[in-house]
Structure 1
Amino acid sequence: MRFSILVAATLAALSTPAAAQSEDPYAPARAIVADIGKIVTPNGVQETFEVTLGGARQVVNVRGADRDNPILIFVHGGPGAVEMPFAWAFQRPWEDVFTVVHYDQRGAGRSYPLNDPEALARTMTPERYRDDAIELIEHLQKRYGKKKVVLMGHSWGSIVGLSVALKRPDLLHAYVGVGQGIDFRKGEKAGMAWTRAKALADGNKEAVAAIEALAPYPQGEFTIAKADGWRKYAIPYGSLMYNKPDLKRYFQTPLLSPEYGPDDIGAWGKGSAFSVATLWPRLADVSFKSVRKMEVPIVLLLGRHDYTVPSPVAADWFAKVEAPSKRLVWLEHSAHMPMVEEPGRFFAALLRDVLPLTDAEATP
Structure 2
Amino acid sequence: MKKLAVAMMLLMAQASYAQQCATSDSGCKERAVVADLGRILTPGGIQETYKTRIGGIDQWLNVRGQDQNNPIILFVHGGPASTAMPTLWQFQRPIEEYFTVVHWDQRGAGKTYRETDPASIAGTIHIDRYVDDAIEVAEYVRKRYHKDKVILLGHSWGTIVGMHAAIKRPDLFHAYVGVGQVINVRDNERILYDYAVKTAKEKGNDEAQKELASIAPYPGDQPITRERIIIARKWPQYYGGMTAYRDSSLYFFDGPLLSPEYDKADVKAIDEGNVYTLEKILPEFVAVDFKGVRTFPIPVVMFLGRHDYTTPAMPTVEWMGKVKAPYKRTVMFEHSAHMMPWEEPGKMLVSLLDYVRPLAVKTKR
Provide TM-score, normalisation by structure 2.
0.91
Task: Name 2:99's counterpart in structure 1.
Answer: 98
Post-superposition Cα deviations, 1:247-277, rounded to whole Å, max 9, x if no partner, equal: 2344221111111111211112211221122
Determine if contact 1:240/1:335 at 8 Å carries over to the other structure.
yes
RMSD, aligned α-carbons: 1.3
Distance across 2 between alignment mates of 1:316 and 1:359: 29
Where in structure 2 are the equivalents of 1:1-364 lying within 5 Å? 23-218=24-219, 219-362=221-364
SS in 2 for 1:295: coil
Secondary structure class of the residue paired with 1:85: helix
Looking at structure 1, the residues matched to 338 and 361 of structure 2 have their Cα atoms a distance apart, in angstroms, of: 29
User: Cα offset for 1:207?
Assistant: 1.9
Letter of the aligned partner of 2:161 in structure 1? V
* Structure 2: distance between partners of 1:266 and 1:188: 28
Q: Given residue 123 of structure 2, which amino acid in structure 1 is its aligned partner? A: R
- What CA distance in whole angstroms lies between the structure 2 residues aligned with 1:255 and 1:205? 34
Q: CA deviation at 1:46?
A: 0.6
The Cα offsets for residues 78-125 of structure 1, whole Å up to 9 and x where unpaired, read as 001010000001000111111100010000100001112112121111
* CA positional deviation for 1:25: 1.0
The one-letter code of the counterpart of 1:72 is I
Contact 2:294 2:324 survives alignment (8 Å): yes
In the alignment, structure 2 segments of 5+ residues that lack a partner are 1-22
2:10 counterpart residue number: none
Distance, in Å, in 2 between the alignment partners of 1:27 and 1:283 is 37
**Contact residue 224 and residue 281 of structure 1 kept, 8 A:** no
| One-letter amino acid of the structure 2 residue matched with residue 253 of structure 1 | G
The answer to which structure, 1 or 2, has the higher relative contact order (CA under 8 A, 6+ apart) is 1
**Distance (Å, rounded) in 2 between the aligned partners of 1:166 and 1:40:** 37
Q: Tell me, yes or no, if the aligned pair for 2:242 and 2:249 is still in contact at 8 Å.
A: no
Q: Deviations over 1:210-245 (max 9, x none)?
A: 223213542331222111111121111000000011
Residues 296-318 of structure 1, C-alpha deviation per residue, up to 9 Å, x if partnerless? 00110000000111111111111
Distance of 2:230 and 2:330 partners within structure 1: 29
CA distance in 2 between counterparts of 1:227 and 1:315 reads: 24
In the alignment, the residues of structure 1 paired with residue 275 and residue 34 of structure 2 have an alpha-carbon distance, to the nearest angstrom, of 28
**Which amino acid counterpart does residue 213 of structure 1 have in structure 2?**
S
Distance in 1 separating the partners of 2:346 and 2:122: 39
Aligned to 2:215, what secondary structure does the other structure show?
A: coil
* 1:47-96 Cα shifts (integer Å, max 9, x gaps): 11112221122100000111111110110000010100000010001111
Letter in 1 for 2:303: L
Aligned residues of 1:174 and 1:298 also touching (Cα < 8 A): yes
CA distance in 2, matches of 1:89, 1:171: 29
Contact 1:70 1:149 in 2 (8 A): yes
Partner of 1:134: helix, strand, or coil? helix
Partner secondary structure for residue 324 of structure 1: coil
Closer/same/farther in 2, CA of residues 216 and 123 from structure 1, 3 Å limit: farther
- 2:11 matched residue in structure 1: none
Task: Return the alpha-carbon distance in structure 2 between the equivalents of residues 280 and 122 of structure 1.
Answer: 14
8 A contact 1:45–1:65 mirrored in 2: yes
Q: Which has the larger radius of gyration?
A: 2
- Cα distance in 1 for residues equivalent to 2:305 and 2:276: 28
SS at match of 1:246: coil
Aligned identity (percent) is 46
Which one is further off, 45-54 or 296-305? Answer: 45-54
Corresponding residue SS for 1:49? strand
Distance 1:249 1:304 in 2: 20
Q: How far apart in 2 are the matches of 1:71 and 1:92?
A: 14
CA distance in 2, matches of 1:46, 1:228: 37
Secondary structure of the equivalent of 1:230? helix
Give the distance between the partners of 1:276 and 1:235, measured in 2 at CA: 18
Q: Find the aligned partners of 2:96 and 2:350 in 1 and give their Cα distance.
A: 13
Amino acid at match of 2:259: S
Instruction: Report deviation, 1:358.
Output: 0.6
Alpha-carbon distance, 1:205 to partner: 2.9
Which range moved further: 291-300 or 227-236?
227-236
**Unpaired runs of at least 5, structure 1:** 1-21
State the Cα deviation string for residues 2-31 of structure 1 (Å, max 9, x = none).
Answer: xxxxxxxxxxxxxxxxxxxx9511111111
Give the match for residue 19 of structure 1: none
